[in-house]
């Protein structure tokens, strides 16, 4: 009783600090204009991708499917128009096939939305797996030192010698046929070392701090110290890296699929669409444009969100306006 009293007191003290820090972070984040725009844009893309053609059995508001072929309308050209009539355009309209059709008449809007769904899903799974494994590995390596650290660090040494694209391509070739979830988990399992090293670095500097000493002195278990005391203090680094990991995973997945070692047909992803239609570049350039635009929109908006988070968590520079 007497021993746990100061510990719980310290914990209470920390939550108070954490909350005010959380508020500060939120305030700084919402002042970051690019991050807000990024958030809106990303939310928009996700909404569009998942509501338009629906998820699995749930139908969406778009009436065409990415699986059914149809007759070619106007050689499959896009019917989307965004220039209003009074500016001499054709008015703002979606039309029959806003993104056009491919050579066998599949509605390309539906196809692109399907690709975006898959790419976003893969990216999130990759990021979650890589962040979890990286955080745990980094935390254990940084906290326990000695053998645990040597083993984990040598492992990351090995992984870092292999360019990410290489190892991901090999894994993708092996597991690409097993569906996107398994593919994504496997990619996540080979892309964690960078984050692991980052977290380890944070742990190394935090483990010597007074509050860790104090927790150790009152007999807290290692697990408790790691998860209750140290990890919350590295949360900024982890959140920022996790966010950027999503953006990188979108690009990685699309590159793999483009090389033919990522998402395999009949599944669709944005990168795979570009690969499929790359020879149609001269005749039907829109088949190439739309997936690219969506990849960029997703990656760019997430990168901006990540930048906002970084600024929000790292208040080192009070900005002086010039």
Partner 1 sequence: MIAFIARRLVTSFFVLLAATMVIFGLTSIAGDPLADLRELPGPDRERRMADRIERMNLDSPVWVRYLSWLGNLFRGSLGVNRDGQDVGVLLREALSATLQLVVAATVLAVVIGVIVGIISALRQYSTFDYGVTLAAFVCFSLPLFWVAVMLKQYIAIEFNDWLRDPVIPPLIIGVLAVAAGLIWAAIAIGDRRTKLTAFGAGAAVTVVTLTLLSATRWFADPGIGVVGLAVLAGGTAIGLTVLISGLQYRGPLYAALAAAGIGVLLSEILDPVLADPSWTEMFGLALVTAAVCAGLGYGLGGLLRRQAITGAVATGLVTGGLIFLDRMLQSFAAYSDRVRGRPISTIGSRTPNFTGDFWETNLDAAGHLLLPTMALILISLATYTRYSRSSMLEVMNLDYVRTARAKGLPERTVITKHAFRNGMIPITTLMAVDFASVIGGAIVTENVFGWQGMGNLFIEGLQQVDPAPVMAFFIVSGTAIVVFNMLADIVYAYLDPRIRLS
Partner 2 sequence: MRNSPNEILHVEDLTVEFPTDDGVVHAVRGVSYTLHEGEVLGIVGESGSGKSVTSLAVMGLLPRGARVRGKIVYRGEDVLKLSARRRRALRGGKIGMIFQDPMTALNPVHTIGDQLAEAVLAHGLVPYKQALARAKEMLDLVGIPQAEARLRSYPHEFSGGMRQRAMIAMAVINSPDVIIADEPTTALDVTVQAQILEKLLEVKDAVNAAIVLITHDLGVVAGTAHRVLVMYAGKPVEIGDTDTVFYRPRMPYTAGLLGSMPSLETSGGRLRPIGGAPPSLINLPSGCPFSPRCPLADDTCTAEEPGLAEAGEGGHLAACHHWREVAAAPDPTALFRTESEAV
Ligand X SMILES: Nc1ncnc2c1ncn2[C@@H]1O[C@H](COP(=O)(O)OP(=O)(O)O)[C@@H](O)[C@H]1O
Q: What is the DSSP string of 26-53?
A: HHHHHH-HHHHHHHHHHHHHHHHHHHHS
Residue 322 found at the interface with ligand X (CB under 6 A): no
Q: What's the token pair of residue 127?
A: 């990021």
Candidates 110-118, 129-137, 140-148, 279-287 — which segment interacts with partner 1 by CB under 8 A? 279-287
Query: Considering beta carbons, is residue 284 or 310 the nearer one to partner 2?
Result: 310
Query: Considering beta carbons, is residue 64 or 257 the nearer one to partner 1?
Result: 257
User: In 3-state terms, what secondary structure has residue 81?
Assistant: strand
Residue 104 found at the interface with ligand X (CB under 6 A): no
Report the residue count for the chain.
322
Strands of 151-306, DSSP E = none
Single residue of 31, 33, 154, 209 touching partner 2 by CB under 8 A: 31
Report DSSP state, residue 75: G
Q: How far is the CB of 31 from ligand X (least distance, A)?
A: 17
First-to-last alpha carbon distance for the chain, in angstroms, is 56
- For residues 117 and 51, is the Cβ–Cβ distance under 8 A? no
Task: List the interface residues with ligand X, window 292-321 (CB under 6 A).
Answer: 318, 320
Pairwise CA distance, residues 248 & 127, whole Å: 9
146 binds, among ligand X, partner 2, partner 1, none (CB under 5 to 8 A by kind): none
Residue 319 found at the interface with partner 2 (CB under 8 A): yes
- For residues 289 and 277, is the Cβ–Cβ distance under 8 A? no
Query: Considering beta carbons, is residue 156 or 225 the nearer one to partner 1?
Result: 156
Q: What's the token pair of residue 53?
A: 């053609």
- For residues 118 and 267, is the Cβ–Cβ distance under 8 A? yes
Residue 201 found at the interface with partner 1 (CB under 8 A): no
Residue 40 found at the interface with partner 1 (CB under 8 A): no
Q: Which residues bind partner 1 (CB under 8 A)?
A: 34, 154, 157-167, 169-171, 173-174, 247, 251, 254-255, 258-261, 271, 274, 278, 281-282, 285, 288, 292, 295-296, 299-300, 303-304, 307, 317, 321-322
Q: Provide the binding-site residues for ligand X, judged by CB under 6 A.
A: 318, 320
């Amino acid at each position: 009783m007497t021993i746990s009293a100061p510990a719980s007191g310290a914990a209470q003290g920390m939550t108070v600090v954490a909350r005010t820090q959380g508020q500060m972070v939120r305030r700084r984040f919402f002042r970051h204009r690019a991050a807000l725009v990024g958030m809106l844009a990303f939310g928009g893309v996700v909404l569009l991708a998942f509501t338009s053609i629906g998820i699995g059995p749930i139908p969406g508001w778009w009436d065409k499917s990415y699986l059914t072929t149809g007759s070619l309308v106007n050689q499959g050209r896009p019917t989307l128009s965004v220039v209003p009539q009074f500016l001499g355009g054709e008015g703002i309209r979606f039309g029959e096939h806003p993104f056009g059709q491919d050579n066998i008449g599949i509605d390309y809007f539906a196809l692109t939305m399907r690709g975006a769904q898959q790419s976003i899903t893969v990216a999130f799974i990759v990021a979650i797996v890589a962040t979890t494994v990286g955080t745990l590995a980094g935390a254990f390596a940084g906290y326990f030192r000695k053998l645990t650290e040597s083993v984990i660090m040598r492992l990351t040494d090995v992984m870092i010698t292999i360019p990410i694209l290489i190892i991901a391509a090999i894994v993708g070739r092996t597991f690409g046929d097993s569906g996107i979830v398994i593919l994504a988990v496997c990619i996540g399992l080979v892309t964690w070392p960078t984050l692991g090293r980052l977290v380890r670095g944070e742990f190394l500097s935090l483990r010597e701090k007074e509050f860790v000493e104090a927790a150790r002195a009152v007999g807290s278990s290692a697990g408790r110290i790691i998860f209750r005391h140290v990890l919350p203090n590295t949360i900024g680094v982890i959140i920022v890296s996790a966010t950027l990991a999503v953006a990188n995973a979108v690009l990685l997945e699309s590159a793999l699929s483009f090389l033919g070692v990522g998402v395999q047909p009949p599944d669709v992803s944005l990168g795979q669409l570009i690969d499929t239609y790359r020879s149609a570049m001269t005749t039907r350039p829109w088949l190439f444009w739309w997936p690219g635009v969506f990849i960029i929109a997703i990656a760019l908006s997430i990168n901006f969100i990540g930048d906002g988070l970084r600024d929000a968590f790292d208040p080192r520079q009070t900005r002086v306006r010039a």
